[in-house]
Amino acid sequence: MELTDDGAALLATHDGIELCRYVYRPPEPDLESPRPYFHPVRTLTGDVVSIYRPHDHVWHKGLAWSLPNVGTQNFWGGPTFVRDKGYVQLANNGTQAHRTLSVDGGTVTQRLDWHAADGSLLFTEVRTLELSLVDGGWALTFATGMTNVSEAPIAIGSPTTEGRPNAGYGGLMWRGPRSFTDGEVLLPTGAGGDELMGSRAPWLAYRGRHDGHGRSSTLVFVDAPTNPGHPTMWFVRATPFACVCPAPFFASEVPVEAGETLRLAYAVAVADGAPQPEKLVSGITFE
């Protein structure tokens, strides 16, 4: 797998196919909580399995580390869910600002600063990305260490912790193509759809079909065994659009004390067709 840095994005290619583009200097406006993202994401044969700035939620961007409730700040984009008020557009859209990026073989290390809307620094982050081939597809391993550099505890939560049922999103969020709507959600315990929202499992897979040729693709999201609260709760929708997010802050806030580092890791496997998710999971390892 070849990695190429163009100064704003990192491109990963294999056998002439661009598998993903990691935009680490995002050009989006502050209202969308600028943050690095992966798009397009492709299978080994080149089928696109992500979407960028869909009209219904322009702050959804492929695959991105997105947190809607970080203290009083929104690092997800768009409006914030406020208890007893619903979604309100506040002046609280934060920014994940790129500092440095280095590539060592197949490992990418990035340093970022998390700035509140007023410019104050809340977290520094060290993010590690590893891309590799697995049996039947390829995989991205995503690890983050977020250090609270403010002088007070910061609670990370979700709209559900603010009172909205079944809205526990926040984490490594993936938004799929429009043709993936009504796709199939798979867990170790069985398959289904939207009713699997909030399930706990070590992995969750999503299978959808593409417009045009009608082929299928499968993505498997894996929660690292070392993550707090493992196995994680999952935020997943097949309708009205396809999305998956391992959601460590789904039902309970996670406080990060001043000076403390929160560490989390996940993997995403991308495959053509409809392979068994266990086959893809077996090829994934965490450091």
Tell whether 210 is covered by a domain: yes
d(CA 56, CA 60): 9
Residue-wise pLDDT tens digits, 250-270: 999 999 999 999 999 999 999
Quote the pLDDT of residue 198.
Answer: 98
Specify the CATH number for the domain of residue 97: 2.70.98
Q: Which two tokens stand for residue 123?
A: 């977290």
Q: Looking at the 3D structure of the chain, how many domains does it have?
A: 1
Q: Which two tokens stand for residue 222?
A: 């894996």
Q: What's the whole-model pTM score?
A: 0.97
Residue-wise pLDDT tens digits, 152-199: 999 999 999 999 999 999 999 999 999 999 999 999 999 999 999 999
Quote the pLDDT of residue 105.
Answer: 86
Neighbours of 279 (CB within 10 A): 16
Segments forming the whole domain that contains residue 73:
2-281
Quote the pLDDT of residue 106.
Answer: 85
d(CA 111, CA 130): 15
Residues of the chain short of pLDDT 70, as ranges, are none
- In the block, which residue shows the tokens 């196995």? 231
Tell whether 76 is covered by a domain: yes
Tell whether 286 is covered by a domain: no
d(CA 134, CA 282): 9
Tell whether 287 is covered by a domain: no
> Phi then psi for 15, rounded to 5 degrees?
50, 40
Tell whether 111 is covered by a domain: yes
Distances in Å between the alpha carbon of 145 and those of 45, 86, 127, 263, 272?
Answer: 33, 31, 6, 4, 31
